[in-house]
Copies of this chain bind each other. A is one copy, B any other.
Amino acid sequence: MSFDYRIIDDVIHSRVRLAIMSYLATAHSAEFVELKKALKVSDGNLSTHLKKLEDTGYVIVSKQFVDNKPLTRIEISREGETAFRTYVDGLAAMLGPATNTKKT
């Protein structure tokens, strides 16, 4: 139970980026449009958040053309997976007892 707010990684902590990382934590990879729909985020917003994650090295972004249309694939990196796990653990430590997830 640590309440030091600095234990939580603010690259991951942003709402949109947390949603991206959560999605990728299970899916491992996704397409731009797929994420956009799942997270209900505007494309501009998604784009900037992806860039931040890419710059930090938490995701790997690869662009190609399929049927003459751009197709962006986003993959979580090793570093990203580790960071995400650390983030979740830190969060659990902060939330404390409230973490006991109730299964519906």
Contact = CB atoms under 8 A, between A and B. Distances in A.
The number of chain A residues touching the other chain, given as a range, is 20 to 34
Interface of A: 3-6, 8, 10, 13, 15-16, 18-19, 22-23, 25-26, 38-41, 84-85, 88-89, 91-92, 94-102
A99 B96 contact: no
A98 B6 contact: no
| Number of copies of this kind of chain in the complex | 2
Given A99-B88, A101-B101, A5 B13 contact: no
A97 B23 CA distance: 11
A6 B38 CA distance: 11
Q: Output the residue of A13, A15, A26, A89 with the most chain B CB within 10 A.
A: A15
